[in-house]
Amino acid sequence: MQINQHFNELAQSYLFSTVGSRAAAYAAAHPGQKVIRMGIGDVTLPLPGPIIDALHAAVEEMAHKDTFRGYGPDGGYGFLREAIAGYYARRGVGLAPEEIFVSDGAKSDIANILDLFGPDNTVLVPDPVYPVYLDTNVMAGHKVLLARATEENGFLPMPSPGLSADIVYLCSPNNPTGAAYTRAQLAEWVAWANREDAVILYDAAYECFIRDEGLARSIFEVEGARSCAIEFCSFSKIAGFTGTRCGYTVVPAGLERGGMKLAPMWLRRQTTKYNGAPYIVQRAAAAVLTPEGMAAIQQNLGYYRKNAQVLAEALAAAGITYYGGTNSPYLWMKCPGGMGSWEFFDWLLEHAQVVGTPGEGFGECGKGWFRLTAFGGAEETAEAAARMQAALAAFNG
Ligand code: PLP
Give residue 42 CA to ligand 1 midpoint distance, Å.
10
- pLDDT at residue 15, as a whole number: 77
Give residue 88 CA to ligand 1 midpoint distance, Å.
19
The predicted model gives 110-119 an average pLDDT of 98
Contact 360, 289 (CB under 8 A): no
Contact 216, 189 (CB under 8 A): no
Is the pLDDT at 99 greater than 90? The verdict is: yes
Give residue 279 CA to ligand 1 midpoint distance, Å.
21
Give residue 203 CA to ligand 1 midpoint distance, Å.
8
The predicted model gives 75-100 an average pLDDT of 98
Identify residue 227 by its one-letter amino acid code. Answer: S
Is the pLDDT at 125 greater than 90? The verdict is: yes
- Residue in 19, 107, 134, 373 to alter for ligand 1 test, most ligand atoms within 8 A of Cβ: 107
- Residue in 38, 209, 210, 234 to alter for ligand 1 test, most ligand atoms within 8 A of Cβ: 234
Give residue 239 CA to ligand 1 midpoint distance, Å.
13
- pLDDT at residue 39, as a whole number: 80
Closest-CA residue, ligand 1 atom 8, reads 41
Q: Tell me the per-residue pLDDT of 342-374, one tens digit each, with 9 for 90 and over.
A: 999 999 999 999 999 999 999 999 999 999 999
Nearest to 48 by CA among 290, 374, 277, 325: 290
Residue with more model confidence, 140 or 13: 140
Is the pLDDT at 62 greater than 90? The verdict is: yes
Residues sharing a CB contact under 8 Å with residue 30, sequence separation 6 or more, in sequence order:
353
The predicted model gives 135-143 an average pLDDT of 96
Contact 175, 207 (CB under 8 A): no
- pLDDT at residue 227, as a whole number: 98
Residues sharing a CB contact under 8 Å with residue 16, sequence separation 6 or more, in sequence order:
39, 40, 357
Is the pLDDT at 41 greater than 90? The verdict is: no
Distance CA 319, CA 336 (A): 9
Give residue 339 CA to ligand 1 midpoint distance, Å.
28
Is the pLDDT at 14 greater than 80? The verdict is: no
Give residue 330 CA to ligand 1 midpoint distance, Å.
13
- pLDDT at residue 236, as a whole number: 98
- Closest-lying ligand 1 atom to the alpha carbon of residue 235: 15
Handedness of CA 316, 320, 326, 328 (dihedral sign): negative
Is the pLDDT at 87 greater than 80? The verdict is: yes
Q: Tell me the per-residue pLDDT of 287-315, one tens digit each, with 9 for 90 and over.
A: 999 999 999 999 999 999 999 999 999 99
- pLDDT at residue 128, as a whole number: 97
- Closest-lying ligand 1 atom to the alpha carbon of residue 130: 3
* Strand order through the sheet with 330-334: 322-324, 330-334, 369-373, 357-358
Residue with more model confidence, 41 or 244: 244
- How remote is the C-alpha of 241 from its chain's centroid? 13
Identify residue 362 by its one-letter amino acid code. Answer: F
Distance CA 198, CA 107 (A): 21
| Residue 224, helix vs strand vs coil | coil
Q: Quick one: pLDDT band at residue 261, thresholds 50, 70, 90?
A: very high
The predicted model gives 56-78 an average pLDDT of 98
Is the pLDDT at 40 greater than 90? The verdict is: no
Considering only the C-alpha atoms of the chain, give the largest distance between any 2 of them, rounded to a whole number of Å.
70
For residue 7, CA distances in Å to 3, 14, 112, 168, 200 come to 9, 12, 17, 22, 25
Closest-CA residue, ligand 1 atom 12, reads 106
Q: In the structure, how many helices (H) and strands (E) does the chain have? A: 12, 15
Is the pLDDT at 165 greater than 80? The verdict is: yes
Give residue 232 CA to ligand 1 midpoint distance, Å.
9
By CB atoms closer than 10 A (0-12, 13-18, 19+), residue 98 is middle
The residues lining ligand 1, judged by C-beta closer than 6 Å to any ligand atom, are 41, 105-107, 130, 171, 175, 203, 205, 234, 236, 242, 247
- pLDDT at residue 294, as a whole number: 97
- Closest-lying ligand 1 atom to the alpha carbon of residue 107: 16
Give residue 24 CA to ligand 1 midpoint distance, Å.
23
Q: Cis peptide leading into 176, omega within 30 of 0?
A: yes
| Percent share of the chain, pLDDT over 70 | 99
For residue 341, CA distances in Å to 216, 334, 335, 345, 367 come to 30, 9, 7, 6, 6
- Closest-lying ligand 1 atom to the alpha carbon of residue 110: 10
The predicted model gives 193-209 an average pLDDT of 98
- pLDDT at residue 17, as a whole number: 83
- Closest-lying ligand 1 atom to the alpha carbon of residue 129: 3
- Residue in 175, 373, 375 to alter for ligand 1 test, most ligand atoms within 8 A of Cβ: 175
